[in-house]
Amino acid sequence: MNAGIIIIGDEILIGQVVDINSSWISREMNKIGFRTETVITVGDDGKSISDAIDRCLEVADVVFMTGGLGPTKDDITKKVICEKFGTELVLNEAVLANVAEMLGRRGIALTENNRGQALVPATATVVNNAVGTAPGIMMEISNISHSVPFVSTSSTGGINSLPETLPERSRRASRRVELVGRNKLLFSMPGVPFEMRYLMEHEIIPLIKKHYNLKPVFHKTLLLTGIAESILAEKISDWEDSLAENVKLAYLPAYSSIRLRLSVYQPDDTTESYINAKVEELKRIVPENIIAYEDIKLEELVGKLLKDKHFTVATAESCTGGKVASLITSVSGSSEYYKGSVVSYCNEVKADVLGVSRADLEKYGAVSSTVAEQMASGVRRLLKTDYAVATTGIAGPTGGSDEKPVGTVWIAVATPTKVVSRKYVFGKDRAINIERFAASALSMLIVEMEKEC
Amino acid sequence: MNAGIIIIGDEILIGQVVDINSSWISREMNKIGFRTETVITVGDDGKSISDAIDRCLEVADVVFMTGGLGPTKDDITKKVICEKFGTELVLNEAVLANVAEMLGRRGIALTENNRGQALVPATATVVNNAVGTAPGIMMEISNISHSVPFVSTSSTGGINSLPETLPERSRRASRRVELVGRNKLLFSMPGVPFEMRYLMEHEIIPLIKKHYNLKPVFHKTLLLTGIAESILAEKISDWEDSLAENVKLAYLPAYSSIRLRLSVYQPDDTTESYINAKVEELKRIVPENIIAYEDIKLEELVGKLLKDKHFTVATAESCTGGKVASLITSVSGSSEYYKGSVVSYCNEVKADVLGVSRADLEKYGAVSSTVAEQMASGVRRLLKTDYAVATTGIAGPTGGSDEKPVGTVWIAVATPTKVVSRKYVFGKDRAINIERFAASALSMLIVEMEKEC
């Protein structure tokens, strides 16, 4: 089954906001067996939204729209839906009560704009939003001909024409209970990510699951580090050619790692053992590089390794400015093994708090093996942990020299038995360097932990 | 002028990677007067890529494609371009030399896959990639009829049909020197963000600028804090209605702030003074809430305020786990005013390193006004700064109680003259809570700094 996603908002098209909704929806739908065919981003413009709906209905069974449902005047999604599916906006008392309650809890009085949020297309099914004021909306579309969808509940009203009679409210209530099997579904949700997620998790996914019954896609993801994408591709080329035709291989390079994903879209009983056998073959080809046999982030793997052994870790960060700490603590439950970080963005803090030798800072400079190792040892001692990782480098765009260009970083890992350090040289982009430095710190910590265990 | 963007990659459609290229391209193109009409994301599939090109050429003057140019076998963009525009892949010696040099610098030998990267469509103009091995490609498209584009250099070869004669290499060289004015342009770039950015900044944007000559869009963005979107909309409703017809207003709510953006797509000499007058009116309506009159991020505003007064700041973070530090240090030049952070993810570190009273930790709990204030004072003293901000809260999903539910955070700001703290209560989502806590910490720091200055 296919999904289509429409992201609505001038703020996205102008580049002021990055769309994170489509990747989340795709990931979650994939788990229940839907493949996203396309994501179309359009502005707050009726014609563009309408065209995008047509395009998605051509290729997808379920269409998700996010954005354009807020209380402000640039939000027009509901009006487009009405015009397109020949219906009109009616006030929904349940939604209005929800809006009033949501606002009341935050001590905010109901405004005329908020009342507008309680208007929903007459033929739509309301998807309750318990975490925000804009309701979700579901339209059921039974018949697509020449890419022009018709509304199932209105035998007379086609697209772009008003229905002769508006469906009664009672019909809406009964449709909520029982959906006709294979009709296409169109969902309109708020663009605020956590509201969208709430609606999907609590209302929409359960609803879709109930009405379609597909096998999930089989995915096997491996995490590799310490190898360039092109070298890997060359090394495993024969193995790749040997994969059965229904197996799709994707390379997903990240900042300090590559994920290899094997996908089977029509899995059967033999799929899992077949894939496991192919993974065993792969292990023999690149034995040094595979650090995990699951779709796991570096920061999650750090946590898993530490938790398994009841070890703790601390970080000392200069150039990464809290990024390593932030990644580690993005994982729920990280307080079990993570004690904290000293972000030493100036030499004074390196010396005063972490105990790095002032003489060494002078002699070798802050970006050096010696300083990185003293930072790692220093924070391990200060925060009393088993492991520690430290970064010191030049993220850029300024601060580089011929000897130590922008993109240079020294990373040190302190373990219960030793301290090791390594230099990496990356590029010129500050934001990317910070990501790469932080990912490399996690990779290096993982490799050292796996060596000792 | 309009732009269209095509993002290619199964990894995007499966939700494993978030597309950040389209927002960057849109933002940069907007600066030079292009409005992005649509962004279409498709998988590594020829038909989908081809359809997306048609769609974009219908609505856009310039089409950008990212992804599908790497050295691995799932990358097919170049093949699709050849089939679509009736040409074939030829080895480009200059690209091959670049690939060999790029790899050589990293001590990697040229593989057969890498040689494949030097194949480019015969009628394409190569856009040199100095930071990666996959070249950019430019196709010039002179004639669009019935949404089927034809290639200017081949009078016989339409879409999906092979040309009777392949254009000679020499013709390519001459086209590189002079572009025909208003032909549509199609660019194919690598999906790796920093490579795409490099190509855009150094090659493609200068090229587009040279050949089109539009006025830039006029934008004025205001940053507001401490007001809900719906309240703001209600308060400024009359003002909004009074805006001239060619002015577009957008609300861009973020975690602890709202940006209001006024856009004029056909600006003239009077635009700036008109908009300034409307901003003056707005100031009288919401005098307390506007914290900046430019499109600036909270972390950038923190830096600006500190730099103006030669003040320094430090952070002490519990629940935000380095996120506040990470935001502050994402700004280039932050080492001028940011000295560092203590991420105290356990009480031991709060007491031992930051000097929070163990008795108070016991009595009030870690998530309390008292502890937040002692963290802020403690880190201000330890790192010897003018200002400090501290966070302590419950990001979730576990760790909440009736009295202190998940989403509760105490934020404290220590200034040269006082320490203040405030409680905020947000939602249940860990990742969102961390973002909101961190943004609120920056907002609170800004408000306190603006009060004192």
Decide if A41 contacts A25 (C-beta within 8 A): no
Report chain A residues whose CB lies below 8 A from the CB of B133.
230
User: Taking Cα atoms as reference points, which of B287, B222, B257 lies closest to residue B442?
Assistant: B257
Q: Which of A41, A198, A227 to mutate to test the interface with B (most CBs of B within 10 A)?
A: A41
Q: Does the beta carbon of A366 lie under 8 angstroms from any beta carbon of chain B?
A: no
What average pLDDT does range B188-216 have in this prediction? 87
Convert the pLDDT of each residue in B232-281 to its tens digit: 999 999 999 999 998 988 887 788 899 998 988 788 999 999 999 999 99
Convert the pLDDT of each residue in A402-432 to its tens digit: 899 999 999 999 999 999 999 999 888 898 8
Decide if A302 contacts A447 (C-beta within 8 A): no
Query: What mean pLDDT value characterizes chain A?
Result: 87
Give residue A44's pLDDT band: very low, low, confident or very high (50, 70, 90).
confident
**Beta-carbon separation of B131 and A42 below 8 A:** no
Cα first-last separation, chain A: 44
Residue B16 is predicted with a pLDDT of: 77
User: Taking Cα atoms as reference points, which of B298, B360, B301 lies closest to residue B323?
Assistant: B298
Give residue A212's pLDDT band: very low, low, confident or very high (50, 70, 90).
confident
Residue B185 is predicted with a pLDDT of: 94
Tokens of A192: 């605020």
**Beta-carbon separation of A28 and B15 below 8 A:** yes
Q: What percent of chain B has pLDDT over 70?
A: 89
Residue A189 is predicted with a pLDDT of: 96
Report the alpha-carbon distance of residue B295 to residue A339 in Å, rounded.
Answer: 37
Tokens of A166: 């508006």
Interface of B with A in 257-316 (CB under 8 A): 259, 261, 263, 295, 315
Q: Which residue has the tokens 């970083």?
A: A409
**Beta-carbon separation of A229 and B19 below 8 A:** no
Residue B429 is predicted with a pLDDT of: 82
Report the alpha-carbon distance of residue B346 to residue B133 in Å, rounded.
Answer: 45
Report the alpha-carbon distance of residue B266 to residue B263 in Å, rounded.
Answer: 9
| AA letter at B390 | A
Distances (CA, A) of B429 to A330, B392, B396: 11, 16, 7
The better pLDDT of the pair B199, A110 is held by B199
- Does residue A366 come out as left (phi exceeding 0), alpha (psi in the -120 to 50 range) or beta? alpha
Tokens of A195: 């509201």
Find the closest chain B residue to A40 by CA distance: B40
Report the alpha-carbon distance of residue B363 to residue A81 in Å, rounded.
Answer: 56
Report the alpha-carbon distance of residue B377 to residue A338 in Å, rounded.
Answer: 23
- H/E stretch holding A104: helix A93-105
Q: Does the beta carbon of A111 lie under 8 angstroms from any beta carbon of chain B?
A: yes
Indicate the range of A111-120, A272-281, B430-439 predicted with least confidence: A111-120
Indicate the range of A140-149, A301-310, B240-249 predicted with least confidence: A140-149
Report the alpha-carbon distance of residue A77 to residue A339 in Å, rounded.
Answer: 47
Report the alpha-carbon distance of residue A357 to residue A354 in Å, rounded.
Answer: 9
β partners of residue B344: A340
Report the alpha-carbon distance of residue B11 to residue B385 in Å, rounded.
Answer: 45
Residue A408 is predicted with a pLDDT of: 96
Q: Which residue has the tokens 């703290």?
A: B421
Q: Note if the pTM is more than 0.80.
A: no
**Beta-carbon separation of A343 and B329 below 8 A:** yes
Residue B210 is predicted with a pLDDT of: 79
Residue A71 is predicted with a pLDDT of: 67
Q: Does the beta carbon of A93 lie under 8 angstroms from any beta carbon of chain B?
A: no
CA distance B263 to chain A (A): 11
Identify which of A12, A111, A341 has the shortest CB distance to residue B322. Answer: A341
Q: What percent of chain B has pLDDT over 90?
A: 66
What average pLDDT does range B348-358 have in this prediction? 97
Residue B181 is predicted with a pLDDT of: 46
Q: Does the beta carbon of A251 lie under 8 angstroms from any beta carbon of chain B?
A: yes
CA distance A335 to chain B (A): 6
- DSSP string covering B176-212: HH---TT-EEEEEE-SSHHHHHHHIIIIIHHHHHHH-
The better pLDDT of the pair A45, A319 is held by A319
Beta strands, E only, A230-384: 247-253, 258-264, 290-292, 313-317, 338-344
- DSSP string covering B326-366: HHHHTSTTGGGTEEEEEEE-SHHHHHHTT---HHHHHHH-S
Please determine, for residue A143, whether its predicted confidence score (pLDDT) is greater than 80. Answer: no
| AA letter at A449 | M
Residue A386 is predicted with a pLDDT of: 98
Convert the pLDDT of each residue in A48-89 to its tens digit: 999 999 999 999 999 999 998 766 666 789 999 999 999 999
Residue B285 is predicted with a pLDDT of: 97
What average pLDDT does range B316-321 have in this prediction? 97
The DSSP 8-state label assigned to residue B425 in this structure reads: E
Burial class of A369 by CB neighbour count within 10 A (0 to 12, 13 to 18, 19+): middle
Q: Does the beta carbon of A317 lie under 8 angstroms from any beta carbon of chain B?
A: yes
Tokens of B313: 């700041």
The better pLDDT of the pair B427, B55 is held by B55
Report chain B residues whose CB lies below 8 A from the CB of A393.
none
Convert the pLDDT of each residue in B115-154 to its tens digit: 888 999 999 999 999 888 889 999 999 754 333 333 333 3
β partners of residue B353: none
Tokens of B131: 């930071």
User: Taking Cα atoms as reference points, which of A439, A436, A441, A412 lies closest to residue A426?
Assistant: A436
